[in-house]
Amino acid sequence: MKATWHDGNRVDLLENGDTYFPRVFEAIRAARSEVIIETFILFEDKVGNALLEVLVEASRRGVSVDMTVDGYGSPEFSGAYLDKLREAGVRFRVFDPRRRFLGLRTNLFRRLHRKIVVIDACIAFVGGINFSVDQLDEHGAEAKQDYAVEVEGPAVARIHAAARKLIGVAPGRRMRSAKSMEAPGRGDCDEAGSARVAFVQRDNGRHTGDIEWHYRVAIRAARKRVLIANAYFLPGYRLLRALRDAARRGVDVCLILQGHPDMPWVTAATRSLYRYLLPAGVRILEYCRRPLHGKVAVVDGRWSTVGSSNLDPLSLWLNLEANVLVEDEHFATCLRDRLTTLAREHCQPVSRDGTDAGGFWSPLLGVLVFHVMRHAPRIARWLPAHAPRLKKVAPTEPDEAMDRHDAPSPADPRSG
């Protein structure tokens, strides 16, 4: 579970798509040899089309381009979209594609939920931001509040190795064992800064609990402050206990959680936890301006994490996830200041008894939902399972292209 740390990295915090997309597109335009992209959601909207154009341009000038989307999170794509990619030489794959049964998606578990972009094995982007217009401020009240990091330096080797491992499987074949993922990347990146960085992931092989384990270690070691902002908060019992124990020993523990619920039943389950955390002194704030999609944390002004992993059963037990850990005071201060501003300007504090946030409303229902969701992944493991696979996508015929009225909109309530 212990991560491999790398010194000498530059790490920049990117907040929301308005900052993230220009930086990613700029890096792709400057790529010399290779671009690898993984995303949970990609839509054929303003953002998806802009990504298409920069990838096509890069591939046409000789850059190797691979893009993988999740079969649950992303819709089918039009023939025109796929044709442009194919003609330019872009390799486009779908992770765990499954046919619908009675109109319902059947690939509910083991999703490719991580969001990774790697350029020339030396610059990487990791976080929670998908390629869709709902990550832009112009989307209005439903625009998602989110974060990612840009990393340059020796730590990118691990991120590159993980991305290459995923696409190193021939289309239609089962994924290789997780052990082969341990091989490092090219590792030829010069030092670019002073940050110490580690890449951690959650898979269904050797790294099933790594991300949650690192959260717990950081919280147990906290001496002054723990600040967590997470969109879907239903962690394991040990992490909850670590938060409560930290608050009881005098650590300022503050959680920024969803106050603009896109899935009310999940929010009800989360609020059932308030009666456990609030009496111990944990402060809880609900972000109410728009949907919270971030998955970030700062501990003691030194340790930080940014990534794709929610603190919920899907992310901690089933999905493929990726987070970056950073040990750097400057970066931690930057992230803490952004979250502090968010808390001050757009969050509603939850009172000690939790009643103002509905924390004690219908407590039985909330507790029931929480325990069902916590144990659902264990149950899912006993169901008939399948090994996720990659499929290289060929263009569809025009008359087979998906009816755009059936396409999920960027505002779909999906844990992305």
The set of catalytic residues is: 113, 115, 120, 293, 295, 300
Structure tokens at 342: 């968010």
Pull the structure tokens for residue 4: 């491999």
User: Distance between CA atoms of 237 and 169, rounded to whole angstroms?
Assistant: 36
Amino acid, res. 265? W
Bridge-partner residues for 6, per DSSP? Answer: 197
Chain CA centroid to CA 58, Å: 25
Q: How many CB atoms lie within 10 A of CB 274?
A: 25
Q: Exposed, middle or buried, 383 (CB in 10 Å: 0-12/13-18/19+)?
A: exposed
End-to-end CA distance of the chain: 25
CA atoms of 234 and 11, how far apart (whole Å): 29
Cα–Cα dist 290/306, whole Å: 20
Q: Helical H runs in 209-312?
A: 210-221, 237-248, 264-271, 274-277
**CA–CA gap between residue 118 and residue 33 (Å, rounded):** 11
